[in-house]
Amino acid sequence: MKGFKWILLLTIVANAAIILRLVSISQAGASSLVNMNSLQDGDIVLRDSRSLISSQFKMMSQHDKKFSHAGIIRKENGFTFVYHMANENGRSGLLKTKFNDFVNTKVCRSYEIVRYPLKDNMRSQLLNQIDLLVKDKIHFDDEFKLNNQSYYCSELIARLLNNYSSIHIPYSQIGVYKYYAIDNLYYHLPIQLIFLK
């Protein structure tokens, strides 16, 4: 774990100019322009969050550093939500957030929605697993390890897809440290772009 913290610290120092720019960005709010009818359960929202930690997590991607957070779309009783692993605003674990709150410009600079080629039974299995994880009150993995019973955002999605679909999400590696970066969720994978903002 010390190695990961050292890498994170070096990334923070190396990106000081970017951080200063982020602090000055306007925090004006706006809602989504997405046609909610075009979204399906199991679609993935990739966002570039405004927080300092998110900016650093984005740098852990080895191929495409556009995004820092991800969640799974689910429709319930006519409303669209995003399930995501996070530790934010006094809440920690598998969070259920209204879609428009998840992509609001107060917390998000940009986002994309992508879709994997999932069969209906795979999509159902993913949703069933989300229900079980909510019931189990799964913890957010603030150590970013792959060998424990807690998860961070990209790890949750990667593990669900690897275990309950025909999609294989690879991991990234720095030295001996293995992790799921955000770009592992889409880089060179068979995805369909549903929305870009």
User: pLDDT of 80-124, one tens digit each?
Assistant: 999 999 988 788 999 999 999 999 999 999 999 999 999 999 999
Residue 37 has pLDDT above 80, yes or no: yes
Residue 16 has pLDDT above 50, yes or no: no
Domains of the chain: 2-196 (3.90.1720.10)
pLDDT band at 2 (very low <50, low <70, confident <90, very high): low
3 vs 168, which has greater pLDDT? 168
pLDDT at position 197:
87
Percentage of the residues of the chain whose pLDDT score is greater than 70: 84
Mean pLDDT, range 156-174, rounded to an integer? 96
Residue 36 has pLDDT above 70, yes or no: yes
pLDDT at position 27:
32
Q: What is the SS3 string spanning the chain?
A: CHHHHHHHHHHHHHCHHHHHHHHCCCCCCCCCCCCHHHCCCCCEEEEEECCHHHHHHHCCCCCCCCCCEEEEEEEECCEEEEEEEEEECCEEEEEEEEHHHHCCCCCEEEEEEEECCCCHHHHHHHHHHHHHHHHHCCCECCCCCCCCCCECHHHHHHHHHHHHCCCCCCCEEECCEEECCHHHHCCCCCCEEEEEC
Determine the Cα angle at 42 with ends 151 and 94, to 5°. 30
Residue 152 has pLDDT above 90, yes or no: yes
Residue 146 has pLDDT above 60, yes or no: yes
Mean pLDDT, range 53-65, rounded to an integer? 92
Query: What phi and psi values does residue 121 have, to the nearest 5 degrees?
Result: -65, -35
